[in-house]
Structure 1
Amino acid sequence: MANQNKVLKTVFLSIMVAIGVVISPILRIEGMCPTAHLINIVCAVFMGPGYSLLCATLIGIIRMMFMGIPPLALTGAVFGAFLSGVLYKLSHGKIIFAVLGEIFGTGVIGAIVSYPVMTFLVGKGGLTVFYYVPMFITATIMGGCVAYIFLISLKKTGMLTKIQDRLGCEVYEGKRNSSK
């Protein structure tokens, strides 16, 4: 059973990466990629912080290699993906905390980390430390709202628990998860 869970997790992670890569250029606004944040939150809730971080990293690397996207594909995703999973876990399965983790992790931490990366490594001038914050927060709120609606819908039907259980991940049902 443990080996079957590993295979299923790997397949699910691969599907999340594929979806993230394919829809990112389609559903994109200049300087923002709300679908990346949707994927980060969904992956964090389904599989936890480690897998969400891995998913965001793989999507970012593929987008940079094959789509010519700057390093923002990584700096604008990995912190939120990881923090989303951590806050979801620490809150014992409250979806809103996964969304808030993505918003703060990407919208603030990722945006601020993007400044030195873009300034010193890429050589883009005219930036300030908070240059990316408005764009990143806007994109995370957009993606976070869609992720929240999607995950709450799954939770109401009982599918969220079934998916988490099938993947062999931590399931948060019962008294500790009585609120959204």
Structure 2
Amino acid sequence: MKTKKLTLTAIFIALNVVLSSIIVIPLGPIKAAPIQHLINVLCAVFVGPWFGLAQAFISSILRMIFGTGSFFAFPGSMIGVLLASGFYYYRKHLFMAAVGEVIGTGIIGSIMCVPLAWILGLSDLAIKPLMTAFIVSSMIGAIISYIILMVLKRKGILKRYI
């Protein structure tokens, strides 16, 4: 079971890093990537909170190294995947994983970025545009992942993995 989760986590990291370079919502120093949120919801369902957290952390580091992410990826993605996992495991409903991602990244993660911006010397970073970018990005990713998960569920593929 652990080998399956490790393998899926590695695949999710690879997909995240590659696909996040294609679709990015830039807002000043922030590079919001809907793919990160899509992957977070998939991780919440397939591998759970701890492997999902590892995926978010490693993906954020790699995206920063490759220039497709920023320091702001850490609080958003990590809180998002934890809340998505928590909501999913509490209700066992795919939609709740998507809702957890939007609340975790879009609202809580964007608020957590404000102190990070101050630390980085970006004191003029406005919370409303930041939160808007995070909410829009997380909603796009969450909706796409929910559609993917529903297709997998209808085809009977999902129950083999969860």
Same fold (TM over 0.5): yes
How high is the TM-score relative to the length of structure 2?
Answer: 0.92
Tell whether 2:156 aligns with 1:155.
Answer: no
Please list every run of at least 4 consecutive aligned residues from structure 1 whose deviation after the TM superposition is greater than 4 angstroms. Answer: none
> Which residue of structure 2 aligns with residue 168 of structure 1?
none
* Structure 2 residue runs without a partner (length 5+): none
Check the 8 A contact 1:71/1:118 in 2, yes or no: no
Q: Name the residue aligned to 1:16.
A: 12
Measured in 2, the distance between the counterparts of 1:103 and 1:68 equals 21
Q: For residue 61 of structure 1, report the CA deviation from its aligned partner.
A: 1.3
Match of 1:78 in 2: 78
Residue 2 of structure 2 is aligned with which of 2, 6, 12? 6
Normalising by structure 1, what TM-score? 0.83
Alignment counterpart, residue 25 of structure 2, candidates 22, 29, 54: 29
Distance 1:68 1:85 in 2: 25
Quick one: distance in 1 between partners of 2:73 and 2:87? Answer: 22
Corresponding residue for 1:175?
none
Q: 1:88 Cα shift?
A: 0.2
What's the CA shift for 1:131?
4.2
Is the partner of 2:32 in helix, strand or coil? coil
Q: Compare CA radii of gyration and give the structure with the larger one.
A: 1
Q: d(CA) in 2 for partners of 1:69 and 1:79?
A: 16
Contact 1:111 1:130 in 2 (8 A): no
Q: How does 1:37-116 map to 2 (within 5 A)?
A: 37-67=37-67, 69-91=69-91, 93-116=92-115
Q: Distance in 2 between matches of 1:39 and 1:124?
A: 28
Alpha-carbon distance between aligned partners in 2 of 1:59 and 1:125, rounded to the nearest angstrom: 26
| Unmatched 5+ stretches in structure 1 | 165-180
Cα deviation digits, residues 6-32 of structure 1 (max 9, x gap): 222211111111111111011222232
Partner in structure 2 of residue 144 of structure 1: 142
Inter-partner Cα distance in structure 1 for 2:152 and 2:69: 32
Q: What is the RMSD computed on CA atoms of the aligned residues?
A: 1.4
Structure 1 pair 139–162 and aligned structure 2 pair: CA distance change class (3 A)? same
What per-residue deviation string (whole Å, max 9, x for no partner) do you get for residues 71-93 of structure 1? Answer: 112122110111000100000x2
